[in-house]
Amino acid sequence: MKLFLTKHFIFLFLIIATLGVVRFCVLIHHQEIGSTLNTVEKIRKNGKLRLITSKAINTYYQYNNKPTGFEYDLAREFAKFMNVELDVITPGWNNMFAYLKQGKGDFIAAGIPITAPRLEYVDFSIPYMTIQQRIIHHNLIFSPKDIKNMKFKVFHVRRGTSYHYRLADMKASGLPLEYVLHNNIPTEELIGMVHDREIKFTIANSNIALLSRRFFPDIRIGIPIQERESLAWAVRRNDSEMLKQVNKFFLYATNTGILKRITTRYYGNIDNFDAYELKKFHNRIKTQLPKYKNVIKAESAKHGFDWRLIAAIVYQESHFDPEAKSFSNVLGLMQVTEITAKEMGIKNRLDPQQSIRAGIKYLALMYKRFNYIKDESQRLLFALASYNIGYGHVKDAINLAKEEGHDPNTWKGIKATLPLLSKAKYYNQTKYGYARGWEPVQYVERIQTYFDILKQKKAAMAG
């Protein structure tokens, strides 16, 4: 009996062992097949594209619990191009390249300049933007005319950045300057430290500097310390199929206008404000906005508007002055006309709550009139232009856009035709006639800028 059990046990053991070997061979076979898949094939197989980026105002941040940012929006379009979902990985600036090398992500999109040291361990895509490294200092500090004037000055920069490499090269060439390296501190945070006079100098790429100036109006964008550089996305060294796929996307994004649209959204108006205007806005949102913030929030919620957008409109209309009056006799915080006040059911245009209620209600009415425009962000721009110049004139611009070969359902289309309403050749053909059509274009762009500042104010100091 014992012998039978022993033989039976040995027989079962051999069967189990054999099955284990077969299973092991099958697993190895599958792993070998998996290992032969290139990055693009793995992305399509898994249905996910993994973006490695950093949290910063020029790349990726959260607003109202939703992801946004230039690099994120562009990467999302890339995911659509590949018909897959987008995953976002933010390991911190100093860890991004290690994550890419270790296969923890598929590409890096983080506003990275192409530099010689980086070419040793990544491949770069077609460039999508050119920038220049600039010295950033407080406006109370002298503006150097030449880098030689920066002898013995101390710069604060993030470790592993192109700023770090450039300063190291300059110091190695014999220029006696010093620098302090920081780990995983966003460039805009260092710019904020310059603004608050905690440090004297930092370096920033021109695009980041211009964006940051919205939040830190006392900074000055000084002289360049480097020739112009190109920003690009990075993939693993010799990952030829992934590089090919990224480059195909950039060609597609360029030809379809996607790249231009996203670039314009984030960078289109960054150089339209001087320091005085920006400083005035920041001062007013500290001293005046709190007086009206609760009523703006409450009335905005009734119509589904972001309260920060309404705050941007109020500032553009009246600079938060409840007694503001224009030459055309529009009054109050939201510069409501007498006719609009009656239509919106308010009696006192100088009463802050009534003015805000009427203004938001009227904006909501304009917004509904463009319900046929599917893109909500585009629809909002049409509504803002109508709030400024009147629905009739916007309709005239839409009709002109059709005649002139522009897309009448996009802001780009009517932005091109609104200014034509001031020219007899065009306004004589329209129903509502002459209008200062350049004004709503400036109006909408300024509100977008103020709205961006209010949205990104916390993100400007995010990690």
Lowest mean per-residue pLDDT among 150-154, 231-235, 268-272: 268-272
pLDDT-above-70 percentage for the chain:
90
Q: Which residues contact 113 (CB under 8 A, 6 or more apart)?
A: 131, 162, 205, 229, 230, 231, 232
Q: What is the topology classification, in CATH, of domain 133-226? A: D-Maltodextrin-Binding Protein; domain 2 (3.40.190)
Model confidence at 15, in pLDDT bands (50, 70, 90)? very low
pLDDT in tens, 103-147: 999 999 999 999 888 999 999 999 999 999 999 999 888 778 888
Reported as a single tens digit per residue, the pLDDT across 366-417 is: 999 999 999 999 999 999 999 999 999 999 999 999 999 999 999 999 999 9
Q: What is the pLDDT of residue 121?
A: 92
Tokens for 257?
């206008």
pLDDT at 25 over 80: no
Q: How confident is the model at residue 32 (pLDDT cuts 50, 70, 90)?
A: very low
Q: Where are the beta strands (DSSP E) in 76-217?
A: 85-89, 107-113, 122-124, 129-131, 133-138, 154-158, 178-182, 201-205
At residue 125, the pLDDT reads: 97
- pLDDT band for position 272 (50/70/90)? low
Q: What pLDDT was estimated at residue 14?
A: 42
**278-456 is classed CATH 3.40.309.10:** no
List CB contacts of 215: < 8 A, sequence separation 6 or more: 188, 192, 282, 453, 456, 457, 460
pLDDT at 27 over 60: no
What is the DSSP-derived secondary structure letter of residue 441? H
Question: Is pLDDT at 8 greater than 90 in this prediction?
Answer: no
Which run of H or E residues covers position 366?
Answer: helix 352-368
* Whether residue 16 has pLDDT greater than 80: no
Question: 206: phi > 0 → left, psi -120 to 50 → alpha, else beta; which?
Answer: alpha
What is the tens place of the pLDDT at every residue in 189-234?
A: 899 999 999 999 999 999 999 888 888 889 999 999 999 999 999 9
CATH of 42-122+238-267, one of 3.30.300.30, 3.40.190.10, 3.90.380.10, 3.30.750.200: 3.40.190.10
Nearest Cα to Cα of residue 155 among 166, 140, 142: 166
pLDDT of residue 34: 45
Bridge-based pairing of strands 201-205 and 107-113 is unpaired
Q: What pLDDT does residue 35 have?
A: 52
Under DSSP, is residue 34 helix (H, G, I), strand (E, B) or coil?
Answer: helix
- Domain residue ranges of the chain, discontinuous segments joined by +: 2-34, 42-122+238-267, 133-226, 278-456
For 285-344, the pLDDT digits (tens) are 999 999 999 999 999 999 999 999 999 999 999 999 999 988 677 889 999 999 999 999
pLDDT tens digit sequence for 378-388? 999 999 999 99
The catalytic residues are: 317
According to the model, what pLDDT value does residue 5 have? Answer: 35
Instruction: Give me the pLDDT at residue 18, please.
Output: 44
The pLDDT > 90 percentage for the chain reads 68
Query: Which is more confidently placed, 20 or 159?
Result: 159
Is the pLDDT confidence value at 95 over 80?
Answer: yes
At residue 327, the pLDDT reads: 67
Residue 141's pLDDT is what?
Answer: 82
Which residue type sits at 155?
A: F
Do 42-122+238-267 and 133-226 share a fold?
yes
Question: Alpha-carbon distance 285 to 323, whole Å?
Answer: 17
